[in-house]
Amino acid sequence: MTRTLHAPRGPLPRYERDPATPLRAVRAGDRFAGDAKHRRAVWAYYLGDLSPSPQTVPMATRWLAVVEDMAAGVTPVQRLVPGSFYPAGFREQVAAGCGLADAPSAAADGGDGDAPGGLTGALDRASEAATDELVLAATSLNLQSRYRTVVRRLGATARERRDRLLYIEVLRAAYSASRSSEEAAAHFAKVADSGAWPPLFRLGAAVRLIAHYSRSTKDAESRTRWVDFGERVLRESGEDTFEWNLYRSHLDRAVALHDWMRGERDAAHDRLDTARRIAAELQAVAATPAWHLAALHAERLVLEAALKAFLYGRTVERAAEAEETADRIAAIDPADPYANLVAGDTFWALGDDGRAVRCFTRAAAAGTLAGAYAAHRAAGALEELGRGGEAGAWRQRARELDPEAP
């Protein structure tokens, strides 16, 4: 049943934290130490176990099974770049919540972590390995947030091979691993500006730069430059292939952020609607598992952006659309803590307390910083609903995950 938001409902209590403070490692004696077993199942792919069903793990980690099938020869190798990776430091969040913080194999990006499956051998013989193997190894490590490992073990090889996709994978790793993302962004600008690079790569670099100048520096002039550049590359290409339309969806999502920051809210929503429509159409025609996941992941990223836009404005006019969007993101990415966090915030704004609490508790059960925020939100929601005993338990869960949770 679609609900009408008669009056904007404000957000649940939040808490500010120092981003440099790590999450607390779950220990055997903790009250909710048993949650760690569930979290290890949720993050199985991310931690190297590809045996569970893809539907039980976060969508961003499903790429690991696709890459593994390519490496094993089960499916053809397709040089398709995943739409996004988890942020730097995410691996430490997963390890802490899973009670694996002291285990070298699950520890932070700084170690010499292996690539999943048979791809570790490609790293050990990087000078002789086939380029496709190295691309798959770099992609796998990036999907596991091992960005420094990618740069250290494949940076020189990427420069020597001059393979464009391998170079882009290393560049994406450098962007995530760098303390100064400006330097890595400058390399993306070189790719975009160079006529020696194919137009599709130049468009991909422009999308990255639009996001960079929207989130990292709020540089409106640079952002506008790359929006204009990306739209020109797309217009001049005249291409109507799966890959080009996938990047068309990514570009529309990035430009929506640009429009939003300029105060053009209706234009931003229109862009997001277009990006989602393209992603849905691509899912219907995807010829391989990799292409289908790429299109589904593109939609998932648009849904998240659309919910953030709704939560910022909380307008009655967008309530029905927001409910459908929250339903969809929770359905296609049910194990991801951030998908559940943003869906829970939306359901709470719409007055659907039951679904809000379910999303918050599902997110909290998965751990990570998003899970800690969700546990705190669940406590706040349950307290407002007069369920104080349950609220106290979820507040304790938040504290077990995050030492800065109130």
In whole angstroms, give the CA distance from residue 169 to residue 152.
13
The residue with tokens 């690539």 is 115
CA distance 226 to 205: 9
How many whole angstroms separate alpha carbon 15 and alpha carbon 31?
22
Tell me, yes or no, whether 15 lies in a domain.
no
Residue 233 resides in a domain: yes
pLDDT at residue 317, as a whole number: 85
Provide the residue range defining the domain that includes 215: 181-313
**Dist. CA 196–CA 171, nearest whole Å:** 17
**How far is 143 from 76, CA to CA, in rounded Å?**
19
Domain for residue 391, yes or no? yes
**pLDDT, position 364:** 96
- Do residue 156 and residue 198 come from a single domain? no
Q: Which of 141, 158, 3 is nearest to 85 (CA)?
A: 141
Residues 58 and 166 in one domain: yes
CA torsion 73→78→79→85, rounded to 10°? Answer: -80
Same domain, 55 and 159: yes
Domain count, the chain: 3
Q: Give 163-190 pLDDT, tens digit per residue.
A: 999 999 999 999 988 867 788 899 999 9
* 149 and 44 part of one domain: yes
List the CATH number of the domain containing 359: 1.25.40.10
Q: 306: which 2 tokens?
A: 């659309």
29 in helix, strand or coil?
A: coil
| Distant-in-sequence, close-in-space partners of 226: CB < 8 Å, separation ≥ 6 | 192, 206, 209, 210, 213
Q: Which residues in the chain come in under a pLDDT of 50?
A: 1-2, 104-106
Q: Are residues 36 and 168 in the same domain?
A: yes
Predicted pLDDT of residue 9: 85
- Do 27 and 170 fall into the same domain? yes
135 and 44 share a domain? Answer: yes
Distance of alpha carbon 58 from alpha carbon 337, whole angstroms? 8
pLDDT in tens, 12-47: 999 999 988 999 999 888 999 999 999 999 999 999
Contact 78, 288 (CB under 8 A): yes
At which of 313, 336, 354 does a domain end? 313
Same domain for 167 and 30? Answer: yes
Domain assignment present for 135: yes
Q: Is 226 exposed, middle or buried (0-12, 13-18, 19+ CB in 10 A)?
A: buried
CB environment 169-199: b (16+ within 10 A), e (fewer): bbbbbbbbbbeebeebbebbbebbeeeebee
Claim to verify: residue 264 and residue 341 sit in the same structural domain: no
pLDDT number for residue 6: 56
